[in-house]
Amino acid sequence: MSVRIGILTSGGDCPGLNAAIRGVARAAYQTLDAEIVGIRAGYRGLIDGDYQVMQQSQFSGILTMGGTILGTSRTPFRNMRVVEEDNVDKVHAMKMNYRAMRLDCLVTLGGNGTHKTANLLSQEGLNIIGLPKTIDNDIFGTDFTFGFHTAVDIATDVIDRIHTTAASHNRCMVIEIMGNKAGWLSLYAGMAGGADVILLPEIPYDIEKVAKVIEDRSRIGKNFTIIAVAEGALSLEEAAMKRKEREAAWQADEFYSVSHRVASQLEKLTNVECRTVIPGHMQRGGSPCAYDRVLSTQFGVHAAHLIKKGKFGVSVALKGNDIGENKLEDIAGVPKPVDLDHQIVKAARNINISFGD
């Protein structure tokens, strides 16, 4: 079976992208008479017709590489049908370039925004398969996304290292973990790193209850506190606001991040020195961990099997111990927040980790 496969990586980079690209390519070369077309810089490359026909040798030695050999960019879904100053009809351009590249199908590696655009293109008649990547682990229908476990390892290592300096200086340390809308990364890393408080977007926090944790620990001789806070964590007051009100309040705020705001408030309430740590994009960088290398490869191989079966309009997913798929129309744009009854949330509460509520 001869097939011409396009591959692109869209949105933020994360560990495992190259491993997944390699998995698709190697399985396609093994099971199909395949030609791989690499599309540069995500959907922007598909819009502009920026691509290259790949050689098999280009997929060697990339299993352990971070980033993406194809490059990536953010092309927001909300703008896909908007004709901007360049007068380019993006959807029309993508469809025309798909045909100009003589593609039989397109494999898109990305997060929620990528999947929404993938679904749009599928509804426009293109043969699309999605691969779920994001360190936020917030794509509906899959237990895990690739990139997540590596980011958990990195964030956990940060928390581990902060413990020693926190204890040495009798400080409260506030570590800001990535995760704007979903707190999976903060939950897992906070649990693994032994945080005393974990603040998530899904559980609005009361700053006075967080301060009480610090005071209670001091009372029993524990002279430091570790707080893992997701970048999208909200206080009770913020959660009660409408989105525009909240954004206006943030613009007027002297603090440029939630961790700085929380640290300042806690220092005033407790008189304990509070410092912040923001590992930021470090959580998205570097070589994927062993788990993500395996998961990325499995996802890529399954995508190749779906191509062989002619099954499109789907996104690959991990469901329990099995690799399967979901219809793009069923998962695109569907949120996957932390379930407040999730077993890890319950376990954290049972070992006296506070969520500030």
Catalytic sites, residue numbers = 136
Pairing mode, strands 33-39 and 51-53: antiparallel
- 24 touches 31 (CB < 8 A): no
Edge-first strand order for the sheet with 2-9 is 51-53, 33-39, 2-9, 105-110, 128-132, 314-319, 322-327
Both structure tokens of 261: 């705001």
Torsion of CA 138, 337, 121, 21, to 10 degrees: 10
Burial class from Cβ neighbours inside 10 Å (0-12, 13-18, 19+) for residue 305 reads: middle
Q: Report CA 52 to chain centroid distance, whole Å.
A: 27
Q: What's the Cα-to-Cα distance from 19 to each of 11, 23, 54, 189, 204, rounded to whole Å?
A: 17, 6, 16, 23, 37
* Of 258, 254, 268, 219, nearest in space to 237 by CA: 258
- 291 touches 149 (CB < 8 A): yes
Distance, in Å, from the CA atom of 76 to the CA atom of 116, rounded to the nearest integer, reads 10
Distance, in Å, from the CA atom of 269 to the CA atom of 292, rounded to the nearest integer, reads 41
User: Angle at Cα 259 formed by Cα 257 and Cα 264, nearest 5°?
Assistant: 100
DSSP code, position 327 = E
